[in-house]
Amino acid sequence: MTVPLSRNRDYRLLWLSQAGAEFGHNATAIAFPLLVLAVSGSTAASGLVLGVIAAAQLVVGLPAGAVADRCNRKRLMLVCEAAQVIALASLVAAVLAGAATVPHMVAVAAVLGVCTALFEPAEDATLAVLVPEGQLGTAVAANAARTSLGQVAGTAAGGLLFAVARFLPFAVDVLAHVVAFVTLAFLRVPPRVRPREPVGRLGPEMVAGLRWMWRHPVIRSTTVYAVILNLFFSAFYLVVIVLAQRRGAAPGEIGLMAAMLGAGGVAGALLAPYLHRRLGPYLSVAAAFWAVSVLVPLTALVTSGYLIGALFALMALLAPTANTTIVTQQMLLTPDELRGRLSGALGLLTGGAGAIGPVLGGALAALAPGAAAVLACAAGMAVVTVFVTASPVLRRLAAGQPAPIPD
């Protein structure tokens, strides 16, 4: 008899450990630029610290997947938690002593970025062995809800804690990672079945993982579709913010727009387990793509920031369901010895699209009127949505036909 997720001891330990860690991470993320500005008065330095976190995640993302496939994944997660505790504790001590400097904060940011890049593939691969196949979709959706709730709550709390005392959000993050370390220490992970061939160097292992992903039709197709949509949506988001400013929207109105996007994501994450089961793989993905393709052009016609925020919430509502379906299918189709590399590669590709998208959006906003820039982004999303709708690979998933697995 299959044990429900709510009674799966090891899944609950993993979920709870990261619920607190993600809250602390997001509190730190909002407080970090505030601390840099308070210490140095430089907006450039503030951007540098945040840029270091993102850059470290991108640079380490691909090799991190190979490391997760090569190492003991539980031990790797514990090392990442311990490293973050040490780095953040040093920053708390420096702030309390009045000795915080920009180079120190850059170093701490680099540690946080590297640890995040290493932890995520190890956690994703571990999740697939802690949860039965029939419950993996629900577990992925629950993790998405955890991430969304941690982002909303942690971001809100970070600003408030910083207002009380500069060191406080970082101290809370230290405590969160200490609790996560202790919780993960009690995690029981089934022994892994190691591949027979000897472990090689990281470079060839990364190439082998990428080659396997590209040769698998389901993984290749879903990855390409998701990355392209993320690229155009990231561009669209910046274009809409610029357009709202040009139309005279107040800062509070623009902030509410962004908050409604997050609220839609939280609601969608809570609905994702139900919708994932009801819609099936093909409809789960296609419906999310069509929702965005239909709603995005409407923002070119709407002048109220509050109405745009409502459209944002609707756009975000089905995204967690599509993400749950894509991640679940990819994890089920990937052998355990490659799951870390799968997660690392996906993180690199989606992170790269998220970084390039705003650059594209900025260029569109500078070269074209606001409405035209929005429609250009909408056109890119519509094209990929047509490919998703017509995809024979996704249609085979809907029919329950297995996809060929490359040798």
Under 8 Å CB-to-CB from 74, ≥6 apart: which residues? 122, 126, 184, 187, 189
pLDDT in tens, 181-194: 999 999 998 887 65
pLDDT in tens, 253-280: 777 787 788 888 889 988 888 888 888 8
The answer to whether the CB of 170 falls within 8 A of the CB of 178 is: no
CATH superfamily of the 5-187 domain = MFS general substrate transporter like domains (1.20.1250.20)
Domain 207-398: which CATH class? Answer: mainly alpha
pLDDT score, position 196: 47
First to last CA, the chain: 33
The position carrying tokens 């994450």 is 269
The answer to whether the CB of 297 falls within 8 A of the CB of 375 is: yes
Q: Six-digit token pair at 216?
A: 């698998």
pLDDT score, position 380: 94
Furthest C-alpha separation in the chain? 63
Q: Six-digit token pair at 215?
A: 């040769």
What is the distance of C-alpha 69 from the center of its chain? 20
The answer to whether the CB of 167 falls within 8 A of the CB of 16 is: no
| Confidence (pTM) | 0.82
pLDDT score, position 386: 96
Out of 47-51, 233-237, 322-326, 371-375, which region has the weakest mean confidence (pLDDT)?
47-51
- The mean pLDDT value of the chain amounts to 86
Under 8 Å CB-to-CB from 15, ≥6 apart: which residues? 142, 143, 146
Out of 227-241, 359-373, 379-393, which region has the weakest mean confidence (pLDDT)?
359-373
pLDDT score, position 177: 95
CA distance 271 to 324: 11
pLDDT score, position 365: 83
Q: Is the pLDDT of residue 195 over 80?
A: no
pLDDT score, position 197: 47
Q: Is the pLDDT of residue 167 over 80?
A: yes
* Band of pLDDT at residue 285, cut at 50, 70 and 90: very high
pLDDT score, position 406: 52
pLDDT in tens, 317-372: 999 999 888 888 888 888 888 888 888 888 888 888 877 888 888 888 888 877 89
CATH 1.20.1250.20 domain span(s) along the chain: 5-187, 207-398
